[in-house]
Structure 1
């Protein structure tokens, strides 16, 4: 076991490693206009620049977590950093849409190697109260960096070039790699054998890739029938413009693969063969109940982050960088939570800390929904963002500790990959549902408001479609656009005001819906044990001894 000082320095580099991955998942959202201008991307290519990373990331988390148990958690983490940095160089120097999309695919592989291995290394290198503090730092880093990504991307794209949003990973990656080598001790499951479960790995990718794709893109391509305005396309292959959408097929493939995965893993375990995921982990109450709570809570946690930047930019009139800076209040709250979580470790049962965190998230989301209006400034929502950030930091860290506390040390990679995948699926489902609520609520409100202005039905359809399809992006320029079509200035201003109010109504509805998910997550958290877990048994501690 490394010295206490080395382990805490190692935790710093582990946290930096997870920061690299989390930031890259959100940083592209603010640099898309510059990428589109520089590479001439089509709308379909823009979608795949983002989705290619997310899909590969979600589809392979479980695989790398399991392989890390076998071959070494630090080794897999280091390989992941190398792949991630190399792909970042590729992305930063890409001269075509195809090149950038392929680079994002490789980044997804590298990122998926980093997330579960950082968690399993924290779990392996810290015990007792120290583990609670370490989880607080790890979880708060995730919560904070989700908000930092858009700010960093906006700054780099505005003051430098969008390419630096990727190339910045090179010096950071080299620093992290060196720190991991010097201060993080290797650990892996002792006596790992029985062969690699290649079929299980393939089935898990076929399960989670189409599942996450279907949940994220259902609103775009149509949940059942084809959306004629957004036809699914991969390269030169295009889905038929009529009939059943690609989404039912995608979700159907996921269901079939899920059944096959459970059958295959059960069969291999019965024959005493190596498995990708030991399904017996779900017999552990803390792991099973914690994973369910994490999935539900993740459905609500990203609702606020999804809706607020759109509202700040398109209704309040802030720049992308300005909107990102407002989200730093959320990041600040998450980092404060690391100190609070560390102080509470050993004093407050982890399940109670989770409930406290989720409660603060609910207050933050509901508070935004209550104060948001077309005349509300950023200062009015900043306190609620801060509370929300504290809640995210507390809930993420402490819930992770609850999930992992009783997992055998030789299964921590599997456990880490499983709970990380559950969070990704929950986030995708939450974004799908909350995004639908946001745009459906905006559409219904705008239709009502335009009707009161006596706008002809045919004109209403065009305005509503423009506002909803652009996620409110056309609102700031509506007056100029309408007056250019010979609409009176006073009426154009009223339509713009109505559009802003409608998007606000949609954002408020989305926030209340997200709060509803979090309430369900809060209720689910009461199934978690209220008592602090005892120290791991001697046998488990022995298996946790790092190997070099």
Structure 2
């Protein structure tokens, strides 16, 4: 640094500078991998969390949903703030928030406290992801940028495979609390690495944050997800259970859920109207509304959202079923789910190998088709005594499809987008995917637990008194199946019925996910089939540009 300031030749310092740049790449890749690992660890640890904290099935959905929802809502906001106020600074803040909230999650005494901690984790995660992409774009150019994104993606893929095993080991041999606690030493290492190897950078003409648009986006997404998750609790139309906040109780005979959906609809209208208003004034918007005139961009984002809905929702039900019905421990569950990560890793390499010979949209379609086949295969073998190898085959095929689809979908969505708008377009696509993931957890979780309740009730009808039957159903559903082993000691017949009902519900969730993926496959039929442009900077910018506002 001093040599450059004094005018001395920079060449002797270049090797050190290069080493620091590449070390910085590893550091920021691990920072993003921290988010991925946390998600996969939580999936495996959920049954143990239920046993320890006694959380309900609705809280189980919120443990997953609160993080994903906040993450999706704030991606664009923090991407813009990072460009304005410093990317390294934002990354340091994000990692620190993520690590501190992980301490809170690890020490959580109640389910509500854990959910609150997950909300704060979502804030930290939303700071990390777009910032790392911005740093890579600012640090590397040309061929090096493509290599940098390959390293970034490979690190994330590898950690995604490690996550279930790490979570299973920590949960089985120690405690689910270490599944969150492991983030603390990793966070400290990442912070030290950022301070040492990552340079600060800012955008010369960064856009201002659309604060009103951000508020509208949070309102519409939060109210929609609240309605989807809580509908079975408070009633989809009439009141099944009073909605209360402290001493205040919902005063109407109609449930709060239709009101939540109405707020979501009004939020969508307000969000779009406000964004178009700012766009006409030439001001920044949360989403790049003008790009939705491009058919491939518009339809591609719809496909990305629907595919994410089907992809991520099923991950909620499988660990619960594996542990509560088949009796696997967390580590065994991690080994089974590892097949998904391996399939995805294999497919990512395969997609890179023939991506220049086959149009990207056909690779995406093939990937979605593999996902559907994998999910249907899983659904068909689900029973109370399914052997592990049958699940592994389906999960590998499913993971292979995920790897094919996600590796190429970005290029398809951005194929006709002007290069200078690739950052805003990529941010819109990232938001669509994350919002689809949030909907997947809400919708498929509701399918799972609603089917579980109805199926168990019908199985016990006639053999168990009505009052007892209602208590058993509520116990199994509210515990997300964790009460089944204890139920075995009191009533083996009821426990058998519960296992069968949980297996059926998991099957219905898998078929529902396959249905959404089929819908996503149909939406790709309107996408362009031409090859993705091959200009180096255009491709690398479009494929991994940071999700920031226009």
> Residue 302 of structure 1 aligns to a residue in which SS?
helix
Rounded Cα–Cα distance in structure 1 between residues aligned with 2:517 and 2:541: 38
> Residue 38 of structure 2 aligns to a residue in which SS?
helix
Identify which of 342, 345, 363 aligns with 1:353.
363
In the alignment, does 2:341 pair up with 1:331? Answer: yes
Rounded Cα–Cα distance in structure 1 between residues aligned with 2:81 and 2:528: 30
Rounded Cα–Cα distance in structure 1 between residues aligned with 2:360 and 2:150: 11
Of 258-267 and 177-186, more deviation after overlay is shown by 177-186
Rounded Cα–Cα distance in structure 2 between residues aligned with 1:237 and 1:4: 61
Rounded Cα–Cα distance in structure 2 between residues aligned with 1:525 and 1:308: 27
Of 354-363 and 175-184, more deviation after overlay is shown by 175-184
TM-fit CA distance, 1:393: 2.0
> Residue 526 of structure 2 aligns to a residue in which SS?
coil
In the alignment, does 2:284 pair up with 1:271? Answer: no
Corresponding residue for residue 79 of structure 1 = 93
TM-fit CA distance, 1:476: 2.5
In the alignment, does 2:121 pair up with 1:112? Answer: no
Rounded Cα–Cα distance in structure 1 between residues aligned with 2:427 and 2:196: 25
Of 129-138 and 265-274, more deviation after overlay is shown by 129-138
Superimposed CA distance per residue, residues 230-278 of structure 1 (whole angstroms, 9 cap, x where no aligned partner): x6556x3564387333333333223222222222222222122233333
Identify which of 143, 166, 188 aligns with 1:152.
166
Identify which of 451, 466, 470 aligns with 2:479.
470
Identify which of 379, 384, 389 aligns with 2:389.
379
TM-fit CA distance, 1:432: 3.2
Q: Give the total of aligned pairs.
A: 531
Q: Residue 216 of structure 2 contacts residue 268 of structure 2 at CA under 8 Å; is this kept in 1? A: yes
Q: Residue 231 of structure 2 contacts residue 257 of structure 2 at CA under 8 Å; is this kept in 1? A: yes
TM-fit CA distance, 1:227: 3.5
Identify which of 407, 410, 416 aligns with 1:397.
407
TM-fit CA distance, 1:371: 1.7
Superimposed CA distance per residue, residues 343-384 of structure 1 (whole angstroms, 9 cap, x where no aligned partner): 233233221221121111111101111222222211221111
In the alignment, does 2:216 pair up with 1:203? Answer: yes
Superimposed CA distance per residue, residues 306-346 of structure 1 (whole angstroms, 9 cap, x where no aligned partner): 22222212221212332232111112222223322332332
Rounded Cα–Cα distance in structure 2 between residues aligned with 1:160 and 1:538: 47
Alpha carbons of structure 1 residues 150 and 481: separation in structure 2 relative to 1, 3 Å: farther
> Residue 526 of structure 1 aligns to a residue in which SS?
helix
RMSD, matched Cα: 4.1
Q: Residue 216 of structure 1 contacts residue 428 of structure 1 at CA under 8 Å; is this kept in 2? A: no
Rounded Cα–Cα distance in structure 2 between residues aligned with 1:542 and 1:313: 42
> Residue 529 of structure 1 aligns to a residue in which SS?
coil
Corresponding residue for residue 486 of structure 1 = none
Rounded Cα–Cα distance in structure 2 between residues aligned with 1:47 and 1:233: 20
TM-fit CA distance, 1:521: 0.9
Alpha carbons of structure 1 residues 167 and 541: separation in structure 2 relative to 1, 3 Å: closer
Superimposed CA distance per residue, residues 405-440 of structure 1 (whole angstroms, 9 cap, x where no aligned partner): 555566555434322222232223333333333334
Corresponding residue for residue 212 of structure 1 = 225
Q: Residue 26 of structure 1 contacts residue 146 of structure 1 at CA under 8 Å; is this kept in 2? A: yes
In the alignment, does 2:300 pair up with 1:290? Answer: yes
Q: Residue 137 of structure 2 contacts residue 541 of structure 2 at CA under 8 Å; is this kept in 1? A: no
Of 391-400 and 425-434, more deviation after overlay is shown by 425-434
> Residue 373 of structure 1 aligns to a residue in which SS?
coil
Superimposed CA distance per residue, residues 83-118 of structure 1 (whole angstroms, 9 cap, x where no aligned partner): 222333444456777765554333221111223334
Rounded Cα–Cα distance in structure 1 between residues aligned with 2:83 and 2:345: 29
Alpha carbons of structure 1 residues 32 and 307: separation in structure 2 relative to 1, 3 Å: closer
Of 423-432 and 347-356, more deviation after overlay is shown by 423-432
TM-fit CA distance, 1:292: 0.6
Rounded Cα–Cα distance in structure 1 between residues aligned with 2:213 and 2:472: 49
Rounded Cα–Cα distance in structure 2 between residues aligned with 1:6 and 1:120: 17
Q: Residue 143 of structure 1 contacts residue 392 of structure 1 at CA under 8 Å; is this kept in 2? A: no
In the alignment, does 2:24 pair up with 1:24? Answer: no
Of 237-246 and 279-288, more deviation after overlay is shown by 237-246
In the alignment, does 2:516 pair up with 1:506? Answer: no
Rounded Cα–Cα distance in structure 1 between residues aligned with 2:510 and 2:43: 20
| Structure 1 residues 398-547: aligned runs within 5 Å | 398-407=408-417, 411-450=421-460, 454-455=463-464, 459-482=468-491, 492-493=492-493, 495-536=494-535
> Residue 79 of structure 1 aligns to a residue in which SS?
helix
TM-fit CA distance, 1:204: 2.4
Identify which of 312, 329, 347 aligns with 2:322.
312
Q: Residue 303 of structure 1 contacts residue 434 of structure 1 at CA under 8 Å; is this kept in 2? A: yes
Identify which of 65, 72, 75 aligns with 1:58.
72
Rounded Cα–Cα distance in structure 2 between residues aligned with 1:378 and 1:137: 33
Corresponding residue for residue 489 of structure 1 = none
Rounded Cα–Cα distance in structure 2 between residues aligned with 1:466 and 1:94: 23
TM-fit CA distance, 1:156: 2.3
Q: Residue 140 of structure 1 contacts residue 334 of structure 1 at CA under 8 Å; is this kept in 2? A: no
> Residue 205 of structure 2 aligns to a residue in which SS?
coil
Gaps of 5+ in 1: 483-491
Q: Residue 140 of structure 1 contacts residue 394 of structure 1 at CA under 8 Å; is this kept in 2? A: no
Alpha carbons of structure 1 residues 53 and 409: separation in structure 2 relative to 1, 3 Å: same
Rounded Cα–Cα distance in structure 1 between residues aligned with 2:106 and 2:501: 38
Q: Residue 59 of structure 1 contacts residue 207 of structure 1 at CA under 8 Å; is this kept in 2? A: no
Rounded Cα–Cα distance in structure 2 between residues aligned with 1:542 and 1:499: 51
> Residue 277 of structure 1 aligns to a residue in which SS?
coil
Alpha carbons of structure 1 residues 412 and 156: separation in structure 2 relative to 1, 3 Å: farther
> Residue 282 of structure 2 aligns to a residue in which SS?
coil
